[in-house]
Homo-oligomer: A and B are copies of this chain.
Amino acid sequence: MDSAEFRRRGKEMVDFVADYLEGIEGRQVYPDVEPGYLRPLIPTTAPEEPDMFEDIISDVEKIIMPGVTHWHSPFFFAYFPSANSYPALLADILCGAIGCIGFSWAASPACTELETVMMDWLGKMLKLPEAFLAGQVGEGGGVIQGSASEATLVALLAARTKVTRRLQAASPGLTQGAIMEKLVAYSSDQVVATLGTTSCCSFDNLLEVGPICNKEDMWLHIDAAYAGSSFICPEFRHLLNGVEFADSFNFNPHKWLLVNFDCSAMWVKKRTDLIGAFKLDPLYLKHNHQDSGLITDYRHWQLPLGRRFRSLKMWFVFRMYGVKGLQAYIRKHVRLAHEFERLVQQDPRFEICTEVTLGLVCFRLKGSNRLNEELLERINSAKKIHLVPCHLRDKFVLRFAICARTVESAHVQLAWKHVAQLATSLLATPRD
């Protein structure tokens, strides 16, 4: 494929994608396929000679789409939102074309520097304490990780390295093995200190935990994977109070801030803590500026060596929405969650299971777990909407998460009507 054909096919693909997203509401949100559906539909080996583009794009509709769970359908209320916006799609096309691997400043200075500045922009949107920002002379700063799991692992390894060095400095006789045996990582039953858990979007109390960690010289990592995006709205910022006690903080703009996956934003107060844990300096990665103190080599901030130019997505999204546009987006989702909450509350057969703080409503039929499992089974078998459950204490609970960028009140109303009807028919069924 030469560049002339790419121009043609690329524009066709842009139309294909726009058609897909415009028409997504008309597609069944959850697929009908059974396990193993795909293998018989395609050849057992790659073709020797090139296939035609027309055949491939037609196979996308014939083979791929029937097996897709449509995360961006306005009838998708499962898991948590996964960001998908046009500005991010545009930026990703550019990111792919530049195709640099930004493991060091020299490997593409723009890739590193835009990331540092975008993480400062985002930190300021959240009103993070100054200590987390890179600025021009700060000791802190931000980095884009692939996922919250990676951010947590990075924080854990940095914390381990730091405490190991401290203990070895204090008692030079201590072996690494002896230290390892004594180390403890504290976590709640959902994970590290968490703002907005996946199950029910609950919040740990940082103002209690934080001072204890600081006093005991313990590394405090805070994960706000989903909820973090809401902190750009002044009315939700209080949920982040106590972040000033943390050593590292992380949330996922790829969930709820319209920056397509993957983009997990992580900040640390002392960048030397990360660099100390991961420093990797073979000669082929060295460059003139690296010992100048002026630059950032992000390979020392993460587990993998390679990294894409992901800050372009942040730049495009922040500029094309503006902070006000992003706030409006968050507020719309929270408003829709409360709308659903009220609908549930008005139906005496149902109960709300946890306080609705952001875009997630945990609810259930008053009654047994078995009854709620059956209700969910009927909802997901009907495939008009898609939900997943969680356990809260011993209760089986349905999660209704506002997910799609294009979800509106009408979708929420339809979804509720559908759930209520299924409940009616379920409750009318004779039971053992």
Give A contacts to B, CB under 8 Å.
1-7, 9-11, 13-18, 20-22, 31, 33, 35-39, 42, 44-51, 53, 55-56, 60, 63-72, 79, 82-90, 92-94, 96-101, 105-111, 113-114, 116-117, 120-122, 124-125, 136, 146-150, 153, 177, 180-181, 198-199, 254, 260-262, 282-286, 289, 292, 294-295, 303-306, 308, 312, 315-316, 318-325, 388-391, 396, 399
Give A7's nearest chain B residue, CB to CB.
Answer: B18
- In the complex, how many angstroms separate the beta carbon of A182 from the nearest chain B beta carbon? 10
Task: Known A42-B117, A391-B283; judge A1-B93 contact (CB<8 A).
Answer: no
Please indicate the chain B residues that have their CB under 8 angstroms from the CB of A4 in the complex: 18
Residues of chain B within 8 A of A97, CB atoms compared: 17, 20-21, 84, 89
Scoring A46, A49, A69, A124 by chain B CB atoms within 10 A of each residue's CB, the highest score goes to: A46
Contact A87 B35 (CB under 8 A): no
A14 touches B11 (CB 8 A): yes
Q: By the criterion CB–CB under 8 Å, are B305 and A149 in contact?
A: yes
Q: Which residues of B contact A122 (CB under 8 A)?
A: 46
A87 partner, pick from B1, B64, B292, B323, beta carbons under 8 A: B1
Cβ contacts under 8 Å, A65 to chain B: 110
Instruction: Tell me whether B260 and A319 are in contact (CB under 8 A).
Output: no
| Residue from A47, A96, A153, A388 having most chain B Cβ neighbours under 10 A | A96
Residues of chain B within 8 A of A63, CB atoms compared? 110
**Which of B105, B150, B390 is A304 in contact with, Cβ under 8 Å?**
B150
A244 to B169, CA, bound (A): 46
Q: 21 pairs across A/B with beta carbons < 8 Å? A: A3-B22, A9-B86, A10-B17, A21-B97, A39-B117, A46-B121, A46-B323, A50-B322, A51-B322, A56-B320, A68-B100, A69-B100, A69-B107, A71-B108, A92-B96, A93-B93, A147-B303, A180-B180, A199-B282, A283-B389, A284-B399
Q: How far is the CA of A111 from the CA of B71 in the complex (A)?
A: 12
Which of A21, A117, A306 gathers the greatest number of chain B CB atoms within 10 Å? Answer: A306
Among A47, A181, A321, max chain B CB count under 10 A is at A47
A36 touches B89 (CB 8 A): no
**Given A6-B14, A45-B121, A177-B181, do A36 and B136 touch, yes or no (CB 8 Å)?**
yes
Whether B47 lies near A323 (C-beta < 8 A) is yes
Check if A96 sits within 8 Å of B84, measured CB to CB: yes
In the assembled complex, the Cα of A289 lies from the Cα of B17 at a distance in Å of: 30
Q: Are A94 and B16 touching (Cβ within 8 A)? A: yes
Docked complex Cα distance between A17 and B13 (Å): 14
> Which of B82, B96, B150 is close to A89, meaning CB atoms less than 8 Å apart?
B96
Other-chain residue from B39, B99, B292 in contact with A261 (beta carbon distance below 8 A): B99
- Complex formed: what's the CA distance from A283 to B190 in Å? 12
Contact B109 A31 (CB under 8 A): yes
Q: How far is the CA of A318 from the CA of B45 in the complex (A)?
A: 10
**With A180-B180, A262-B306 as given contacts, are A323 and B93 in contact (CB-CB < 8 Å)?**
no
Shortest distance from the beta carbon of A293 to any chain B beta carbon, whole Å:
9
Contact status B322-A48, CB under 8 Å: yes
Chain B residues, Cβ within 8 Å of A117: 38-39, 42
Q: How far is the CB of A174 from chain B (nearest CB, A)?
A: 14
* Docked complex Cα distance between A287 and B120 (Å): 40
B residues near A46, Cβ cutoff 8 Å: 121-122, 124-125, 318-319, 322-323
Q: Are A68 and B110 in contact (CB under 8 A)?
A: yes
B321 touches A282 (CB 8 A): no
B-side contacts of A38, CB under 8 Å? 109-110, 113-114, 117
Kindly name the residue among A6, A38, A68 whose own CB sees the greatest number of chain B CB atoms within 10 A: A6
Bound form: Cα–Cα A6–B324 in Å: 20
| The residue from B51, B99, B106 contacting A260, defined by CB atoms under 8 A apart | B99
In the complex, the answer to whether A324 meets B101 with C-beta atoms within 8 Å is no
How far does the Cβ of A257 sit from chain B's closest Cβ, in whole Å?
A: 11
